[in-house]
Structure 1
Amino acid sequence: MPEAKLQEFAELLFFAYRDFTGDPDAILADFGFGRAHHRVLHFVNRHSGLRVADLLEILNITKQSLGRVLKQLIDQGYIMQQAGAADRRERLLFPTERGRALAERLAAPQIVRLAAALEAAGPAPRRRCAFFSKP
């Protein structure tokens, strides 16, 4: 594929990312939060009981970066932290009801965008994608 065409695709990805994150960004601004808060809240909500070590690996960020964001989310009642049952040094993260509600509010416009894009693409792309063929 010519480089110019690849550049066009790269540009489309920039626009898609801007639009995909725009609605949650506006919601997060009302709380004084940013995209890092969104990512942490998303993964903790989707994987309740996630270990801090696993979250660091998923997000590929430093302990210091996660620590600041996580402290805010815990202090403001969006996430709670518990010691592991088998290993008390483990820190497990759980969304609170408030955290679940915010995560769902942030995801709602993104889900609408994804559903519309998949609908517009038609059935062929969904058949080729292994993600959609899982039970």
Structure 2
Amino acid sequence: MVDSKPPANPLFLREEELRQGIELMFYAYRDFTFESDQQLKRYQLGRAHHRALYFIGRHPGQTVGHLLSILKVTKQSISRVLKDLIGQAYVEQKSGARDRRERLLWLTEKGQKLERDLTGRQSQRFARAYRETGAEAVDGFRKVLLGLLDPPERAIVDKRVRGGR
């Protein structure tokens, strides 16, 4: 049986459309991070600290190694960030029960409040955009974001985002 659907329109793959997508991503990221960046400056923290706070809050009790695999940063970089966050009492680190060499991470109450404040602003932006575009666009956006990831990472990240580790 012959498929009667017309072929997909390839115009969205033209160089100009790809460039527009890249440009829109830069603008969206600029505005997505602006308010949080301003707040972070007051605490002498940066985006790396925000990402760590976010993912420690999303996956409490994770190891430093797990956080490294999520953020894809060097041990030296994560060490600096964690030193700041632990030093300012936003994060606490405990040894693992089975393996005392493991360093497990949790947000303190103070860290939970800061993470909620930072992410709350970003959540409002997402909520507005999702309301304005509808469920089909939200599903498409999710697929595009997953598609931007390196292929081996897609299933891992999708599982993490949906609540797995």
TM-score (norm 1): 0.93
Q: CA deviation at 1:122?
A: 1.7
Q: Give the letter aligned to residue 101 of structure 2.
A: R
What whole-Å deviation, never above 9, does each CA across 1:70-120 have from its counterpart, x for those lacking one? 001001100000000000000000000000000000011100000000111
SS of the residue corresponding to residue 34 of structure 2 reads: helix
What whole-Å deviation, never above 9, does each CA across 1:19-58 have from its counterpart, x for those lacking one? 1111110100000000000000111111110100000110
- Match 1:14 to one of 14, 26, 32: 26
Q: Does 1:109 align with 2:121?
A: yes
Q: Give the letter aligned to residue 29 of structure 1.
A: K
Q: CA deviation at 1:126?
A: 3.6
1:96 aligns with 108
Q: CA RMSD in A?
A: 1.5
- Larger Rg belongs to: 2
Q: Does 1:47 align with 2:63?
A: no
Q: Does 1:124 align with 2:136?
A: yes
Unaligned residue ranges in structure 2 (runs of 5+): 1-12, 144-157
* Larger RCO: 1 or 2 (CA < 8 Å, sep 6+): 1
Q: State how far apart, in whole Å, the 2-side matches of 1:29 and 1:87 are.
A: 36
Q: Give the letter aligned to residue 65 of structure 1.
A: S
Q: Percent of pairs identical after alignment?
A: 46
SS of the residue corresponding to residue 32 of structure 1 reads: coil
Q: CA deviation at 1:127?
A: 5.3
